[in-house]
Structure 1
Amino acid sequence: MSEKFFSPCPRGLETLLASELDSLGAENVRAIDGGVHFTGSFLLSYRINLHSRIASRVLWQVAMANYRNEQNIFDLVYSLPWNDWFDVSCTIRVKTTAIKSPLKSLDFVTLRIKDAVCDKFRALVGKRPSVDTRSPDIRIHAFLESGCITLYIDTSGEALFKRGVRQYTNVAPLRENLAAGILLLAGWRPGIPLLDPMCGSGTFLIEAVLMSLNIAPGMNRSFAFEKLRGFDGEAWGDLRSSAHMEQKPVGPLPIFGSDLYGDELKTAQHNLENLGLLTAVSLKQANVLEISAPASNGVLIANLPYGERMGDLTELQEFYPKLGDVLKKKFGGWTAYLFTSDLRMPKFIRLSVTRRIVLFNGAIECRLFEYKLVTGSNRS
């Protein structure tokens, strides 16, 4: 039986996600701003939760209908067979988002949806599920448009960028699925030398190692679909076993990370160590303004410091041209991808931008700037 799904993702990665979902067996794949619609069997949701590097969630569509007011929404939700989908012992959370909805209060809509679910359970089994806003068993998502509501059950649980692999973070962590998307946008592939000279907690490094060793990003975590009625434990076990058999053995890779601060480097080291992947990456403490290329060519990726990660604007304006000088003098033959929300950066770094990609880190609008580095390529 074919089901309808929607997978949100970081804005700017929709095309990448659509391609990934197609490769995983999704049908009727359709990208929109903020995510991708698709269809497939319910087992497909298991596979995507396990293997997707780009998706933020896999949402299972359970209803779509027109509405005029909150009572219409209550009636729709109450009519649905919630007890067929999960047990009353499961805790729930309802999240409502909207675009151009005429209703005045999303909080009130959320309350009415929660009441309808609980009232339906009480009518059927004499009990109601408890609400847990922090770590619920089942997340229910409602999306309101001007006259239409779509209801989803979240098959993922915790967001998919929470791989269960990064135990320690720095003050400005990059979401894992955004880091994976940036690697793919950069054209990096396993075997190509990769350097993150400002690696922080090691997000780019970890995602690159997972790709290189063909480790499914969901191997180290659980999912909400395991708590739904009809969960096929045997099929899920087979999927995990197949993914495990396809992993490559851990060994040294041409993946390099450095950071100015020892504490940051220890964070990356601990995260890699916890995964048993420390031997795959070369780490060292170094100032990005003093490093040299670890190979004759490759890809350099950096999440540039901004906001709380570095000081005032004057300090950044002094840093950018120095970084440009290092890239020009020591990284000829490389391609650099610099990710930042500071749109003034290209003006000060004095390198010729060859590509600009709009991306969002959460709600923050950012750019991924590409620089094909040739010795002496600085602009005057």
Structure 2
Amino acid sequence: MSETFFSPCPRGLESFLVEELKAYGASAIDSVPGGVQYEGDWQLAWRTNLESRIATRVLWKVGRTRYRSEDEIYKLAYATTWAKWFTPDETIRIYVTAIKSPLKSLNFTTLKIKDGLCDHFRTVAGKRPSVDTESPDLRIHAFITEDTCTLYLDTSGEPLYKRGFKPAKVDAPLKENLAAGILKLSGWQPGQPFLDPMCGSGTFLVEAAQMSLGIAPGLGRRFAFEKFRHFDQAAYRRVRGAVEAKRKPAAELPIFGADIDPHQIAATEENLAAAGFDNRQVELVVNDVLDLEPPLNDGIIASNPPYGVRLSTGEELAEWYPRLGDAMKRHWAGWNIYLLTADTELPKRIGLRASKKTPLMNGDLDCRLYEFKMLAGSARDTFR
């Protein structure tokens, strides 16, 4: 039986999510800014949760109505057959997103949806689920337009960019699905040399290593759909086993990371180890990006440099940017460089003309991914 799903993703990466969903066998695919709607069976939903590097969630459409007031939205929440899918012993949280809605209060609308759901359970089961705003068992999402309300049950639980293994936290984090999308935007392919010279906690490096060895990003975590009453555990084990079978044997990879801060390198090592990688897959050095030299003749660089919002002062960056541009010209001939930044003046500040710029969102930050293609030159060997 075909179901309807919606997967949000970072804006600017919708086309890559469409490619993934086509590969999983989705049908009726409809891309919108910030996500993709599609149809398929539950095996498709499981595969998307397990394998998608771009999706943020997999939301299952469970109800829709036209409305003129909160009362119609309450009626939709009451009529939706929640008790078929989970019990009142599970905790819940309601999320509401609205575009051009005439409703005056989203908080009041959220309350009406919660009331409708809880009243449904009181009628059917004699008790209601509790609300947990911190770590709910199940999440219900409502999307409200000018005259329609659509209800979704979240099959993912924690957002899919939380891969389930990353213990070390650092400042200015980059979400994993955005990092994966940037790797795809760069044209990088497994087997091609890759370097992040300001690697922080190693997000780009882990994504590149997993992609190189065919390791699905969701294999290290659990999902909300495992709590659904109609969950077919035996069928899911078969799907998960097929996904696990795609994993390639451990091998040396041309993936490199560097950072000026030894604490950041320690965090990267911790995260790589938690993901099952060591220095055979990713080679790390403590070094300033301004002094770093290439490990190989050519390859792809992708990085999320400091840009004054979270890490450095404006004066520090004004002095540092031109030095970064000089280092790129001096050391990185033969490499294509991709820098994600919220600073739209970055090309001018570093003194290089970007061959391409792609608008992307890093959380709430409006960013650009700039491409710099450096002319070919000779390699230097500082990593080995």
Aligned to 1:301: 302
Q: Determine if contact 1:5/1:61 at 8 Å carries over to the other structure.
A: yes
**For 2:167 and 2:352, how far apart are their aligned partners in 1?**
36
- Residue deviations 1:47-84 (CA, integer Å, cap 9, x gap): 10000000000000011110000111111111111111
Structure 1 stretch displaced more, 305-314 or 341-350: 305-314
**1:66 correspondence with 2:89:** no
Deviations 1:101-155 (A, max 9, x none): 0000000000110111111101111111111111111100001000000100000
Question: Residues 216-365 of structure 1: matches in 2 within 5 Å?
Answer: 216-279=216-279, 280-307=281-308, 309-365=310-366
Q: Which residue of 2 aligns with 1:180?
A: 180
Q: Distance in 1 between matches of 2:310 and 2:325?
A: 19
Distance 1:90 1:115 in 2: 16
- Name the residue aligned to 2:207: 207
Q: Distance in 1 between matches of 2:309 and 2:81?
A: 47
**Is this contact kept in 2: 1:82–1:120, CA < 8 A?**
yes
2:381 aligned residue: none
Using structure 2 for the length normalisation, give the TM-score: 0.96
CA distance in 1, matches of 2:216, 2:376: 38
Distance 2:360 2:312 in 1: 23
| 102 and 308 in structure 1: CA distance in 2 versus 1, 3 angstrom threshold | closer
Question: Does the 8 A contact of 2:162 with 2:176 survive in 1?
Answer: yes
- Match of 2:273, SS? helix
Letter in 2 for 1:212: S
Distance in 2 (CA, whole Å) between partners of 1:245 and 1:77 is 41
Aligned-residue offset at 1:339: 0.6
* Secondary structure in 2 matching 1:246: coil
Paired residue type of 2:287: A
Partner residue in 2 for 1:133: 133
Seq. identity, %: 51
CA distance, structure 1, for counterparts of residue 376 and residue 322 of structure 2: 15
1:264-315: CA deviations, max 9, x gaps? 0000001111222023100010000001011100001110112355322121
The more displaced of 115-124 and 304-313 is 304-313
CA distance in 2, matches of 1:191, 1:134: 41
How many residue pairs align between the two structures? Answer: 376
Instruction: State the alpha-carbon separation in 2 of the partners of residues 186 and 30 from structure 1.
Output: 24
Q: CA deviation at 1:165?
A: 2.1
SS of the residue aligned with 2:122?
helix
Residue number in structure 1 paired with 2:165: 165
What residue number does 2:7 align with? 7
**Pair 282,87 (structure 1): closer, same or farther in 2 beyond 3 Å:** same
Query: Residue 329 of structure 1 contacts residue 375 of structure 1 at CA under 8 Å; is this kept in 2?
Result: no
In structure 1, the partner of 2:103 is 103
Unaligned runs of 5+ in 1: none
CA distance in 2, matches of 1:84, 1:47: 23
Whole-angstrom CA distance in 2 between matches of 1:375 and 1:222:
45
Q: Please report the TM-score for the alignment, with normalisation by the length of structure 1.
A: 0.97
Structure 2 residue matching 1:323: 3-state secondary structure? helix
Matches of 1:20 and 1:42 in 2, distance apart? 16
Query: Is this contact kept in 2: 1:140–1:152, CA < 8 A?
Result: yes
* Distance across 2 between alignment mates of 1:33 and 1:71: 29
Residue in 2 aligned with 1:367?
A: 368
**Structure 2 Cα separation of the partners of residues 241 and 41 of structure 1:** 18
Name 2:380's counterpart in structure 1.
none
Superposed CA RMSD = 1.1
Given that 1:171 and 1:308 are in contact with CA atoms closer than 8 Å, whether structure 2 keeps it comes out as no
Residue 30 of structure 2 aligns to a residue in which SS?
Answer: strand
Alignment of 1:26-65 (within 5 A): 26-65=26-65
DSSP-derived class of the 1:307 partner: coil
Cα shift at 1:23: 1.0
Cα displacement (A) at 1:2:
0.7
Cα separation, 2, equivalents of 1:165 and 1:210? 12
- Unmatched 5+ stretches in structure 2: 378-384
